[in-house]
Amino acid sequence: MLKNNSNKTLILFTQSFPYIKAAEQTFLINEIPYLLHYFSKVIIVPEFAEGEKITVSEDVILDKSLFYYIKHKEKQNKIIKLLLGLHFGLLINELKNRPDIFLSPRKIKRFLSAVYKIRLVKEWFNKHYKESENIIVYTYWFTSTTVGLLNERNKTVTRAHGTDLYEERHNNYIPLRNYALSKIDRVFCVSQAGVAYLTQNYPEYKEKYSLARIGVNNKIRNFQNKKKCGGLRIVSCSGLIPLKRVDLILKGIIEFARRNNDVKIEYIHFGDGQEMGKIKRLINSNNLSNLNLDFKGNTSNSMILNYYADNYVDVFINASTTEGGCPVSIQEAQSFGIPFIGTNVGGIPEIIDKKNGVIISENPSAKEVADAINEIYSLGNEEKILMRENSYSNWQNRFNSELNFKAFAEEISKL
């Protein structure tokens, strides 16, 4: 990739990347080459910078000073921290926009903690980059750090995912959200659902919201159209946590197996978690001779992708109660042409339609899951091939990270 003739510097703020703590490395390691192409200099500033880290391009500058600055300040007394969070201007601004939060001691504490973090980030930035020119500030998450970086000298943009976007996940309150939106230059949501959420709740700033999907990179580019053997192979991939409702998926598969005792069914799940005990009880209660269950536990991303490349999978299922964006697990499976079943929540409907899978209700029953499996299983051979081709095309056109990262880097370089 030839270097773009830019004289701008990009400062990228992460939770931990390139250190391995937050779940960022899977995406950012593939995004960095495009940022390097469109900016003369790329500086990564992680908020956590200890332990194992992954190797990034030698052209990237790693600045750990924010981590050390915050770590040093964290030694301050808790009362002092809260007192330092008393910023009159921000207090008046929040009182004007969210007077309801001052009836909640918990929310007041969160506001003061956020302002304290904003103060630290602002102090650090003024110490290290105040005199710098031609800077684009890019935060990977829309947090208090983003607010601390807002100023009149530089353009500031952020991505918005799920936990950093939806206030319902934080007792209906994210401190200084209105203030942040009034000052920031652009907010790039990873799903159309995110754009719609901000537009509905903060319509006065709608011109600042853009869709910038992340996507996944499939270098294998291998998907199988024609099935080599009979039976039905179903896959899911997630943590075994209540949010993902893997027990519901399993119950739906058991229901389908009972209805179709002449069909050999294989269910593979990648991932582990706190609900493994519940899953084991369901497995032990299953005595169906036509159903084989294989819970593989925590599995590396490369092994999962290789599995998709080497094995024909009939359908992938996601039964999440909520999703902030477009689930990466679905995008990865879709890049191998696998049809889907998914709940009608978050960004899932942006990935699945009638051409490449089946959408089920927000709170489906096991019967509804079984019916959806049957809908795909009952398709004719040509219809299945077409569904697989549509699944692959949807990834290629909308969730291919190579295309998405290039478009995003180019857009922010022009600010």
Quote the pLDDT of residue 87. Answer: 65
> DSSP state, 171?
T
Average pLDDT over residues 198-220: 93
**Whether the bond into 18 is cis, omega within 30 of 0:** yes
CA distance 396 to 221: 10
Phi, psi of 296 (to 5 degrees): -85, -5
Residue 402 has pLDDT above 80, yes or no: yes
Q: What is the largest CA-CA distance in the chain?
A: 73
| CB atoms closer than 10 angstroms to residue 66 | 21
Hey, what are 396's tokens? 């290629």
Q: Considering only 2-16, 138-152, 279-293, which range has the smallest mean pLDDT?
A: 2-16
How far, rounded to the nearest angstrom, does the alpha carbon of residue 344 sit from its chain's CA centroid?
Answer: 17
Q: Which residues contact 354 (CB under 8 A, 6 or more apart)?
A: none
CATH superfamily for 232-398 is: Glycogen Phosphorylase B; (3.40.50.2000)
Residue 83 is predicted with a pLDDT of 57
Pick the CATH number of 9-215+401-413 from 3.40.50.2000, 3.30.420.40, 3.30.460.10, 3.40.718.10: 3.40.50.2000
Per-residue pLDDT for 273 more than 70?
A: yes
Average pLDDT, the chain: 91
- Distance in angstroms (rounded) separating the CA atoms of residues 112 and 270: 41
Give the rounded distance of the alpha carbon of 216 from its chain centre: 11
Q: Which two tokens stand for residue 16?
A: 């931990």
What is the share, in percent, of the chain residues with pLDDT greater than 70?
A: 94
Length of the chain: 415
Distance in angstroms (rounded) separating the CA atoms of residues 287 and 305: 30
**Where residue 229 falls among pLDDT bands split at 50, 70, 90?**
confident
pLDDT value at 388 more than 70: yes
Its sign, for the CA torsion 206, 109, 162, 212, is positive
State the average pLDDT over residues 168-183.
94
Q: Where in the chain is the domain with CATH 3.40.50.2000?
A: 9-215+401-413, 232-398
| pLDDT, position 17 | 95
The answer on pLDDT for 1 being more than 70 is no
Q: Which two tokens stand for residue 95?
A: 């009182």
Q: How far apart are CA 191 and CA 161, in angstroms?
A: 8
DSSP 286-339: ---TTEEEEEEES--HHHHHHHHHHS--SEEEE--S--SS--HHHHHHHTTT--
Query: Which run of H or E residues covers position 404?
Result: helix 401-413
DSSP label at 102?
Answer: G
Which pLDDT score, from 0 to 100, does residue 5 have?
Answer: 60
Question: In this structure, are residues 163 and 194 in contact, taking their beta carbons and an 8 Å threshold?
Answer: no
Q: Compute the average pLDDT of residues 23-40.
A: 90
Q: What is the CA radius of gyration of the chain?
A: 23
**pLDDT tens-digit readout, 199-208:** 999 999 999 9
How many whole angstroms separate alpha carbon 386 and alpha carbon 380?
10
| Residue type, position 300, single letter | S
Q: How many angstroms separate the Cα of 345 from the Cα of each of 188, 194, 264?
A: 20, 12, 31
Amino acid identity, position 202: Y
Residue that has been written with the tokens 């830019």 in this structure: 6
Please write the tens of the pLDDT for every residue from 69-83: 999 877 665 666 555
The region of weakest confidence among 101-105, 156-160, 222-226, 400-404 is: 222-226
